[in-house]
A and B are shown apart, each in its own frame.
Chain A
Amino acid sequence: MHEGDDVMERRLSRNDLLRLGAAAGAAGVLAGRTGFADAARAQLAKESGRLQVLDWAGYEVKPLWTQYLAKYPGQKPKFTFMTNEANALAKMSAGFKPDVVRPYVGYVQDFAQSGFVQPWTPSLIPNLKQLNPAMVKAGQYKGKQWGIPEDWGFDAILYRTDKVTPKARSWSLLFDDRYKGKIAWFDDLNQLVWAGYYLGFKKPYDQSDAELKRSQQLLKSKKKLVRMFWSSETDMQSAFASGDIWIAYAWPADWAAMRAKKLKVAYMYPKEGALSWIGMLMLGKGTSRSAHAHAFANAWSSRQAGSWLEDNYGYGHSNTHARPKSKDLLTALKLTDPHAVSEPRAHIDRHVPRRAVYARLWEEVKAS
């Protein structure tokens, strides 16, 4: 009896599905784009509850998604904070289902493969056209747009021009013997990547065992020159401002912040190429608020949000029309040159296939 019911239900479902598909196809042919917009509006009307955003602390501020709120008044997104990509994945593994999450570009593939996110529909994000094409491409995986690039920056070298005279425009400034005890590295496995670029390896994001050994050895042997590994930008800036360190692996925002403190500083782009990072908005898999999520990504991609981000956080924004008020920042981010952020002049962070090995080797550098 029950089995029969189930079979009937399944049949009906299939029939319904076929009918719906045929109707949708016909509607699509007849109504074209207008019909699609109507369908999107209808879908939007069905979406309920607040948009759930899993993001980094500091990105919950309203000016970064004002357009979204203007479109959907009173529907302020609900933010939950992540501390890193692993933390975000752990939250999602534990059952949290955000509509939008923001890993950085090197993790796009990991997230795409995790099964917790799905590709965006680019046509629903009109501002995507204004975003830096190289960054948009970096958000693609297997031909689909999994990540919408927003905030970005360089990883390069900040140094005091009144205290430090670099021998070369190179990553080697991060282990210059003359400045022992005045150098800060970033506490991240990416240190093995710049070491790989310095050593001239072809694929620093995918080094062989022998190459990794050499990169690790370089870092281990030079660690004695390093005063601190920073994980908090505030800590690094405070140590730099007080003169405890003179040379740091840093972001353009740090250079702008030190300039604001009237310190004589320069931001060096190593000849081996600076690294660049990009925050990627990703869409939660099976989200029930897809249209809202697209609208949110569109708001974040706007010129206004971009300029605000640059003016207030000192980070770059992928919208090529966004410009900061500060000329210093404009220079540091090389915003007048949209190619500065990508190959061959800079290396956009990419997927590290053997991240576990990199992580272990970096931890050993710290422990050594």
Chain B
Amino acid sequence: MSAEAPAAEATPRGRRTRSRIDLTTPGLLGLPVACLLVFFLCPIAIVGAYSVDALHGPSLFGEAHKLTLAGWHALFHDGVYLRLFWKSVKTSLIVSVIVVALAYPVAYYLALSGTKRKYVLLLVLIAPFLTSYLLRVLAWKVILGNRGVLNTFLFWTGVRSPDHPLSQLLYSRFAVILVLAYIWIPFVALPIFVSLDSLDRRLLEAAGDLGASRWQAFVRVTLPLSMPGVVAAFLFVFIPTVGEFVTPSLVGGTSGYLYGNQIADLFSTGYPDWQTGSVLALFLLGVVALLTIALTRFLRLGEAAAR
């Protein structure tokens, strides 16, 4: 009996504790989960319905609608959109690699050089964000055009004559890569800076004590430990740029036309095709999600190996 009494007493207390937990968790998670449902999962489901014509926009031009997988079939069999997607992936990969390679030394200097002005310099780095995105892109038209800043300089130095400007700078894939790299560098520097700034410096001292050169210490200690930041930075650039359409539409011309432009055009041109647009958008979402999962898994494996 005496053994049962505490147990009987403990039960209501335990129940109270559990009910408190039960209320706290949904209370804390309820709003974000609801937001996720309403503003992310539901729209995706709607786009999914559009992609098979289960839902459709108003029959603006008297089109007939029926449930069909024709959009998905066209995506995988015609090859036109898949080739465009691959072009976008390549462009985005080039931009991401360039940007990470350029941002890493900057972040390294800011985090590890011991300068007292690192936060001031960081502010300078992100200063372009104080101006409009559109303005920053349009500024490149002034720089890269046939009569732009760059060509004018080349005329002035005599490298090129005004009749033969470097004319492939603007309205090209090169222009898209250049402008996207410029736009995303500050974004990329931040996560790398954070991962480097939180690095335990004693590990570098230990590496030095054990005979490692500065290069060896960087390759064997600093770089692996900053990889989460690098991967996060890579994803920061890759995910938005693979679906980017503003920059290509302003400076890309026909050769800089990307997958994101196609999606935007399918939804908004004179004769909208929401079904194909939805198929393309969902395919992009799926590939990006898979890539993110794969990279996150890679990171976890790396962290586990480091431990």
Chain A residues in contact with chain B, CB under 8 A? 83-87, 89-90, 93-94, 110, 113-114, 181-182, 187-189, 223, 226-229, 238-239, 242-244, 355-356, 358-360, 363-364, 366-368
Contacts and interface: CB of A to CB of B under 8 A. Distances in A.
A90 B57 contact: yes
A356 B262 contact: no
A246 to B, nearest CB: 10
A223 B61 contact: no
Interface string B53-95: 0000110111100000000000000101101100000000000
Given A223-B254, A239-B171, A366-B262, A89 B60 contact: yes
B60 A114 contact: yes
Contacts of B61: 86, 89, 110, 355-356
Nearest to A85: B270
A89 B60 CA distance: 6
Interface stretch (B21-29, B103-111, B129-137, B162-170): B162-170
Nearest to B60: A89
Contact of A86 (B81, B254, B272): B272
B147 A242 contact: yes
Contacts of B254: 223, 226-229, 366
Q: How large is the interface on B (under 10, 10 to 19, 20 to 34, 35 or more residues)?
A: 35 or more
A90 B58 contact: yes
A180 B58 CA distance: 41
B242 to A, nearest CB: 15
Contacts, number: 94
Max chain A Cβ within 10 angstroms of own Cβ: one of B62, B81, B141, B271: B271
Contacts of A368: 80, 83-84
Contact of B171 (A94, A110, A227, A355): A227
Contacts of B276: 360, 363
B253 interface: yes
In order of increasing CB-CB distance, the 7 nearest A-B pairs are: A93-B58, A359-B271, A243-B146, A89-B60, A228-B253, A84-B270, A367-B84
B197 interface: no
A90 B145 contact: no
A367 B272 CA distance: 15
A363 B146 contact: no
B269 interface: yes
A188 B145 contact: no
B145 A244 contact: yes
B50 interface: no
B183 to A, nearest CB: 20
A359 B171 contact: no
B257 A366 contact: yes
B14 to A, nearest CB: 56
Contact of B273 (A187, A243, A363): A363
26 contacts: A86-B61, A90-B58, A90-B60, A114-B60, A187-B269, A189-B270, A227-B253, A228-B253, A244-B145, A244-B167, A244-B171, A356-B61, A356-B273, A358-B271, A359-B269, A359-B270, A360-B273, A363-B262, A363-B265, A364-B78, A366-B254, A366-B257, A366-B265, A367-B257, A368-B83, A368-B84
Contact of B270 (A188, A223, A227, A238): A188
Nearest to B141: A238
Given A227-B253, A366-B262, A359 B273 contact: yes
A89 B271 contact: no
Nearest to A223: B254
Contact of B60 (A86, A229, A367): A86
Given A114-B62, A229-B254, 15 more contacts: A87-B268, A113-B62, A223-B254, A226-B254, A228-B253, A228-B254, A238-B141, A243-B165, A244-B170, A356-B271, A359-B271, A363-B269, A366-B262, A367-B81, A368-B80
B266 interface: yes
B5 to A, nearest CB: 69
